[in-house]
Each structure stands twice: as C-alpha cells, then as structure tokens.
Amino acid sequence: MTDLSLYRNIGIFAHVDAGKTTTTERILKLTGRIHKLGEVHEGESTTDFMDQEAERGITIQSAAVSCFWKGHRFNVIDTPGHVDFTVEVYRSLKVLDGGIGVFCGSGGVEPQSETNWRYANDSKVSRLIFVNKLDRIGADFLRVTDQVKKVLGAKPLIMTLPIGREDTFSGVVDLLTRKAYVWDETGLPENYTVTDVPADMVDDVEMYRDQLIENAVEMDDDLMMAYMEGEEVSEDDIKRCIRKGTLELAFFPTYCGSAFKNKGMQLLLDAVVDYLPAPQEVNPQPLTDEEGNPTGKHAIVSPDEPFRALAFKIMDDRFGALTFVRIYSGKLNKGDTILNSFTGKTERVGRMVEMQANERNELSFATAGDIIAIVGMKSVQTGHTLCDPKHPCTLEAMVFPEPVISISVFPKDKSATEKMGIAIGKMVAEDPTFRVETDIDSGETILKGMGELHLDIKVDILKRTYGVELTVGQPQVAYRETITQEIQDSYTHKKQSGGSGQYGKIDYTIKPGEPNTGFTFTSSVVGGNVPKEFFPAIEKGFKSMMGTGPLAGFPVLDVVVELTDGASHAVDSSAIAFEIAAKGAFRQSMPKAGPQMLEPIMKVDVYSPEDHVGDVIGDLNRRRGMISGQEPGATGVRIKADVPLSEMFGYISTLRTMTSGRGQFSMEFSHYAGCPANVAETVIAKEKEKIAAEK
C-alpha cells in the first residue's frame, strides 16, 4: 500500500499510570490486530513484553505495532511514562507525525505529561488529547481540560462530553453530530448504542458545540464571516477546519472515555483518521551537512524521492540486532545497499520486518511513511541517517540529555568481566542515555544513566538477560589537588657507592599556575651551572610526580616550576641523577606550598514549577551551590547554578519530592574549585583509611 494519505504514524504518551499501554491494547483489539486483551496489571499486555515491564507494570522501552482502521494504516508506538526513560518518548516523537496525549481523569496533567508535551512541542507534533479513566473516583473531565490550559499553556478543543460521572460513567456525547454513544455493562467495545443526547445534557452540549464551532471556523476567514452572519456551517467544513487547526497546533481535539472499560475508544480512532496528519502533511525533516548545520533542503515525504531514513532505535533481542527505521522518502527493497551518512559505510539490507511489539512479519519492501526494523545492521547507531549511496544526505540528528547519575560496578565472578563488557556494549548501543566508562583513578567500571530506576533496570537486565551478576558500589568523586603559594627551594641529590656516584643540585621556584594549564616547566639558569642537556630530565622528574598529590594522593593540577640555578659534577652528574633530584624536590616542596584539595563543580540546570522555586533554590544553597541565573518559562522556571558534584548524589529523589515529581535537572562538568577545609579533611581521612586498608 503506497497511498500515503491513508497512513497515520502516531505515538501514545503520558505520565506513569495514566493508561497509555491500556489505550494501545484497546486500539489493537478494536482494529482486529489482537483477539484477547492483555492487562498491564496482570503483566499480559502486548507492548510491555520485557520481563521487567511485566513485573513492575510500567513501560520501559517504546514498542511499535501496526494495525488498520477504516482503510487507514496506523503505525502506533506505545512509549514509557517514567521520567528515567524520557529518551524513549523523545526519539519516538522525533519520527512520528501525530500523537495522542493520554491524561488521567482524576490525576489530571501530571509531571511527566508536561515533559512529554514539551518534547512534542519541540518536535512540532500534532496531537489529540484523550482524558482516560473517567470511571475512577475523583475523575473530572472539565477540570482536566482546565489544567491543560493552565499547566501546558495549550488550547484543548472539546469534541466529546462524558455521560455520567465516576462509577455511573456510561458513554460520551459527540458534540459535532449531537449523538450519544452509550455502552452496556459487558465491557465489550462493540456493545454500544447510538441515541439522542440525554435531556439533562442538552444545554451543555449546545454551549460546548458553539464553542467548538467558533474555535474551528477561526481557521477559515470566509467560513467565519458566514458563521458570524448566522449561516449554518456544514459538518464537513467544520471537520476541515478542525484538521487545519490541529495540523497547525492552534488547538488539540480533546476526547474522553475509559480505555480499561472500552468506552469512547472508537471516536478516538475516528479522530486519528480525521484530524491527525498523514506523513506528507507534516513539515518535512530538515537536511543538515556533516557538521550538523541546516542546508536549507528538506526530506520531502514521497516514494518518488531518493531513499532517506532515520534510525531512531536499536534493539538487541533473541533474533539479533534490530535497527528501527522511519523512512521519510523513497523505497527500500530487500537486498538493497544503503549508505550510513554518519560513518560513510554502506551496508546491504538482508532482512526487513514489520514489528508487532516483539513479534515480527517479514517484508520484501518498504516505502516512504513506513516504520520498520532492519535485521543485522553492523555499524548503525541511534540518530544515524540511512540514504541512497547515489544521493548522500544527513537528516537532523537527535540530541540526547546527558546522564545525571553514576554508579560503580564490578562482576561478582571475576571470570564474567569479558561477558560484562560485551553485554554493556550492546546496551549502550540500544540506549543513548546509558553510558559506561572506566575510572582511570580507581579502575572501576562506572555506569551512568538518567536516574536510579534507569540504572536499577540496567543492572537487572545484565543479570537476567546476560547472566552477569554485579556488585554495585557507591560512585566516587574525582578530586584533584593544587598549591596556593609560591616558594623558592633547593634540593641536592648525592649518592656515593664506590665507582662513579650520582650528583645533581637544583634551585627552583614552585608556584600556582593559571587554571587548566596543567604542568608548566621553565628555566632561567644562566652560566651553565646546570648543563642544558639535563633540563628535559628535570622536567620529566617533576612531571612524573604530578599524578600523586601531597594531601591524599589525588592528581595535581596547575603547577609552574621554574629552574633558577643549581650545580653539577663533571663525572657524577647524569640525566638520571637530575631526574631523581626533581622527584625529591617535588616531595620536599609541595607540602610547603599551601596544598589545597580541588573538587569538581557541576553546571546544574534545574527545571521547577513556579510555586516550588524558593524550595529548590534554598536546597541548592544548602548543597553549597552558587545560583547563576533564573529564566521563567511557560510552565515553570529554569534555575542555573554551579554545585559541587559530591553534593549532587541522590539529588533527583530530593528534587522530585520537593516539586511533587514535576522537577527535572541536568548537569555537566564545569570546572575544578577549592574544597572547604571541613570537606577536604573528611576526604583526606577517608583516603588515608583506604590506603591503610590496602596495605
């Protein structure tokens, strides 16, 4: 099927527990894709197929499924709601044309909904709103639509009204057609009747219908004039205007129902067909050059253009590596050779599959608008562009947030080290926000991620999927040392042990250097007291000692050594003698030069709702943070601060508690700065204990 107007690439996103996966499950049942409903709370849903998802009742990775409704093909992606897995939402929205934002009828607009809404705004994705769980105690459809306006700064276009509240919720009224859809108590989605609007709702229906039409006709000046003059506007014209406004993000058609009880889902599916864009109706992806700068050209969505696709997800499963690809233009046939414009390498497409969560159907070809998976790609990573080798191009890449938390790990069984390395390599390829590095100072393997749950799940996957049991330790802070005073000193190395001896005398100045200069060596010796050929040996001696500072053995930063004078012996002086003299000089003089501990300072960017800004700033001050600025936004305030890394462990939990889960933060290394005396004393004492224990 290549009629792109019949395609809908949509994602379902929401806060944890608003009912995304259940909504997806109902869509699959209604479209005939599955015949038995699986429930999230029973660990049986189609798209939550990982063990960890089934056990915890949460979605961890986005899952893609395809289905058909009224002759239209839906590619649906169910995304996670937990803040630690927002990268899955971000990369899904990047390749989708439309979305359904699901909100809980009683919980309303929750923190993760805000984040996901922001991502969708950034990606300019058209959306429908579905207010779910209206059968729950405390559910209030109109309260949620008010929250959408206030919290998200968005304009909901109310399309349906609920019949009954909480446990009496029985159906919905379609405002456009003035028809009531009422479901019986069997819970089956097909068991409904279409009737007239209940008598007690007629006034409300007319009021909200007028609002709907007024907002819709604003998209067409001629229709608006006709409507103002009292003419009746046809249903088709209203739908056309709603579609236009939805595509332009002027408003968001808003529906209500209960996915769990199968009420209201058909109207939502009809709205996907009526109002969400087909692939060619979306602004085409910009093309960039190799440095990532826009070229002014775009990937026009059409089967007749050269082949262009974006790899948006890598997944390793029992059948091998899968590369999820959104095709923007052209066609792809089994056996074609395609170019990865990031690596410059070409690869042959051996197998292509259409994904049904963790099931797959073999394909012989795919075309513009399709979301497919290619099996066995070698060097492709998330965000890489795949294209026709004759028409190389680069699609706008994805930008991923930096990890904010790290833990040290080592395998319980020493023989599993290599196995751990291979497994972590695969996991890093799958998840761009999961990083691994080896701490040069301690030799530990450090795993970095988006939150404690994120890393907890990674450790769990290593244990279950790859059979590697890990011991998880506390993360270490990489402290450094420097000096604060200038001193002049002299050191003589003299050794006589029969035959030729060793002799080298140096006079020198040691002083603090400029930040980030490392080690600098200069000489002002005149008159040849120290022959020039020994200067490199003296520099080497000092430099070799920079790895171990005088206070706690941490590497030393920013020191200037100037050789001012010295003495040599015609027979006993040698390069090795002067190198040993320099090492002795370093040990002798550094403790006298006002040594100081340095700690890494992080540039922290905190997002907080307005009503919690005071608490957040107070907490950052308690963590020895220096606030450098505040930027108010539509839904909250960004606070920028410089905070020592040692004070940031566990911060995400504190921030979420303080802001009712709505706060977020990112941090990156900024610079090293002096440690307060009390912090330095604690660190030095710990290091000395560690060294004593090792002995």
The enclosing H or E element of 429 equals helix 417-430
Q: Are 76 and 12 within 8 A, CB to CB?
A: yes
Q: Are 610 and 659 within 8 A, CB to CB?
A: no
Residue 252: Cβ within 10 Å count = 25
Give the closest residue to 482 by CA, choosing from 367, 394, 598.
598
- Sort 428 into a burial class: Cβ within 10 Å, 0-12 / 13-18 / 19+: middle
Give the closest residue to 605 by CA, choosing from 654, 633, 642, 657.
642
* Contacts of 7 by beta carbon, 8 Å cutoff, 6+ apart: 72, 73, 75, 278, 279, 369, 370
Share the mean pLDDT of the chain. Answer: 80
The enclosing H or E element of 490 equals strand 487-495
Encoding tokens for residue 464?
A: 């279950």
Q: Tens digit of pLDDT for each residue in 599-651?
A: 888 888 888 888 899 999 999 999 999 999 887 766 678 888 999 988 887 78
- The verdict on 411 and 321 lying in the same domain is no
The enclosing H or E element of 299 equals strand 294-299
Length of the chain: 695
Is 237 a member of any domain?
no
Q: Could you tell me if residue 115 is left (phi over 0), alpha (psi between -120 and 50 degrees) or otherwise beta?
A: alpha
Q: Report, as an integer, the average pLDDT of 586-595.
A: 92
Encoding tokens for residue 227?
A: 């409507």
- The verdict on 627 and 540 lying in the same domain is no
Q: Comparing 48-57, 247-256, 502-511, which segment has the lowest mean pLDDT?
A: 48-57
How many helices and strands, by DSSP H and E, does the chain display? 16, 37
Alpha-carbon distance of 179 to 175, in angstroms, equals 7
Is 212 a member of any domain?
no
Residue type, 88: E
- Sort 334 into a burial class: Cβ within 10 Å, 0-12 / 13-18 / 19+: middle
Residue 494: Cβ within 10 Å count = 13
User: Is the pLDDT assigned to residue 465 strictly greater than 90?
Assistant: no
- Which of 422, 457, 473 is where one domain is finished? 473
Alpha-carbon distance of 400 to 90, in angstroms, equals 8
Encoding tokens for residue 429?
A: 């390829």
- The verdict on 16 and 110 lying in the same domain is yes
For residue 54, what pLDDT is reported? 44
Residue 390: Cβ within 10 Å count = 8
For residue 591, what pLDDT is reported? 92
Q: Report, as an integer, the average pLDDT of 483-503.
A: 86
Which CATH number belongs to the domain containing residue 452 in this structure? 3.30.70.870
Which CATH number belongs to the domain containing residue 646 in this structure? 3.30.70.240
Tell me how far CA of residue 454 lies from CA of 83, 407, 458, 586, 667, in angstroms: 9, 11, 6, 45, 17
Share of the chain above pLDDT 70, in %: 81
- The verdict on 357 and 381 lying in the same domain is yes
- Exposure string for 17-48, b = 16+ CB within 10 A, e = fewer: bbbbbbbbbbbbbbbebbeebbebeeeebbbb
Strands 502-512 and 487-495: antiparallel
The enclosing H or E element of 325 equals strand 320-329
- The verdict on 420 and 490 lying in the same domain is no
User: Is the pLDDT assigned to residue 61 strictly greater than 60?
Assistant: no
User: Is the pLDDT assigned to residue 111 strictly greater than 60?
Assistant: no
- DSSP 8-state assignment for residue 47: S
Tell me how far CA of residue 588 lies from CA of 145, 521, 581, 650, in angstroms: 72, 17, 10, 40
Give strand pairing partners of 64.
77
- Which of 376, 395, 414 is where one domain is finished? 395
For residue 295, what pLDDT is reported? 66
User: Is the pLDDT assigned to residue 109 strictly greater than 70?
Assistant: yes
Q: Which residue has the tokens 């440095």?
A: 291
Instruction: Give long-range contacts, CB 8 A cutoff, 24+ apart: 147-154.
Output: 147/103, 147/108, 147/109, 148/103, 148/109, 148/252, 148/254, 151/109, 151/114, 151/635, 152/109, 152/113, 152/114, 152/117, 152/635, 153/634, 153/635, 154/117, 154/251, 154/252
- The verdict on 441 and 409 lying in the same domain is yes
Q: Tens digit of pLDDT for each residue in 405-417?
A: 677 887 777 777 7
User: Is the pLDDT assigned to residue 57 strictly greater than 70?
Assistant: no
For residue 49, what pLDDT is reported? 38
* Contacts of 612 by beta carbon, 8 Å cutoff, 6+ apart: 658, 659, 660, 662, 663
Q: Tens digit of pLDDT for each residue in 70-103?
A: 888 888 775 654 444 556 566 667 778 888 888 8
The domain tally of the chain equals: 5
Is 52 a member of any domain?
yes
Which CATH number belongs to the domain containing residue 29 in this structure? 3.40.50.300
Give strand pairing partners of 173.
161, 180
Alpha-carbon distance of 136 to 129, in angstroms, equals 18
Which CATH number belongs to the domain containing residue 492 in this structure? 3.30.230.10
User: Is the pLDDT assigned to residue 52 strictly greater than 50?
Assistant: no
Is 615 a member of any domain?
yes
Which CATH number belongs to the domain containing residue 335 in this structure? 2.40.30.10
Sheet holding 160-163, edge to edge: 160-163, 171-174, 179-183, 192-195
For residue 62, what pLDDT is reported? 46
- The verdict on 619 and 588 lying in the same domain is no
**For residue 256, what are the domain limits?**
4-169+251-281
User: CA neighbours within 13 Å on the CB side: how many for 428?
Assistant: 13
Q: Comparing 49-58, 238-247, 297-306, 513-522, which segment has the lowest mean pLDDT?
A: 49-58
Encoding tokens for residue 535?
A: 């200067």
* Contacts of 692 by beta carbon, 8 Å cutoff, 6+ apart: none
User: Is the pLDDT assigned to residue 242 strictly greater than 70?
Assistant: yes
Encoding tokens for residue 586?
A: 């370093």
* Contacts of 514 by beta carbon, 8 Å cutoff, 6+ apart: 558
Give strand pairing partners of 315.
322
The SS3 of residue 523 is strand
Give the closest residue to 257 by CA, choosing from 69, 102, 70, 46.
102
Residue type, 553: G
Is 675 a member of any domain?
yes
Q: Tens digit of pLDDT for each residue in 163-220?
A: 888 778 888 999 998 899 988 877 777 778 888 888 888 899 999 999 999 999 888 8
Q: Are 585 and 542 within 8 A, CB to CB?
A: yes
Q: Are 311 and 382 within 8 A, CB to CB?
A: yes
Encoding tokens for residue 232?
A: 């009746």
Please report the DSSP string for 13-29 in residue order: E-STTSSHHHHHHHHHH
Alpha-carbon distance of 502 to 492, in angstroms, equals 10
Encoding tokens for residue 608?
A: 């907080």
For residue 232, what pLDDT is reported? 84
Alpha-carbon distance of 512 to 362, in angstroms, equals 66
- The verdict on 381 and 293 lying in the same domain is yes
- The verdict on 311 and 257 lying in the same domain is no
State pTM to two decimals.
0.64
Is 71 a member of any domain?
yes
Alpha-carbon distance of 115 to 535, in angstroms, equals 59
- The verdict on 272 and 294 lying in the same domain is no
Q: Comparing 49-63, 347-361, 512-526, which segment has the lowest mean pLDDT?
A: 49-63
- The verdict on 357 and 308 lying in the same domain is yes
Confidence of residue 286 (pLDDT cuts 50, 70, 90): low
Is 198 a member of any domain?
no
Q: Which residue has the tokens 């997800």?
A: 313
Alpha-carbon distance of 526 to 503, in angstroms, equals 19
Is 266 a member of any domain?
yes
Q: Are 18 and 107 within 8 A, CB to CB?
A: yes
- The verdict on 387 and 306 lying in the same domain is yes
